[in-house]
Structure 1
Amino acid sequence: MTYQSTAHPAHSVSPLDGLRRAGAGLRRFFVGIAHGLQVSSTAHRRFEQVQILQAKSDEDLAALGIKRDDIVHHVFKDLYYI
């Protein structure tokens, strides 16, 4: 004779599943931190580039083909279309 029970779940849950989920959460946490540091570093480099260009004379900027009013646009031109 065969007995069937519907009380068992369709799949069994391993004790390692909790560790896997915790590991995945920890990975997402550190990836988020790394992404934030990368964005901050990029923003800082662009800010420094704006400051360097603003410190140049109008003649130096003209030699580079940049007007003083267009410095920010020049530095951020790959991110924004204005």
Structure 2
Amino acid sequence: MNKQGTFDLPAAPEAATPAEGDLELAVEQAIEACGGDAREAVKALLVANGFLENEIAELRAAVSKGYSRGRHAAQRDRKE
């Protein structure tokens, strides 16, 4: 939190990319959490990602374009 009481967010997604060592640790933790089965870890992460994408879509729909100052474009239909 900064002096104004708000959070500083990275300007671009690349700025939020974890360090290589952190990413490897996260991979190991995800696989371990799924009993050592990498396929199950991938499935769990895909389910979690889908949940987060739905949350983002709901939040975008709830925030007006004026309030967000046009920082988010209208959600386009995704091809599955």
* TM-score of the two chains, using structure 2 as the length reference: 0.38
Higher RCO (C-alpha under 8 Å, 6+ residues apart): 1
**Structure with max Cα Rg:** 1
* TM-score of the two chains, using structure 1 as the length reference: 0.37
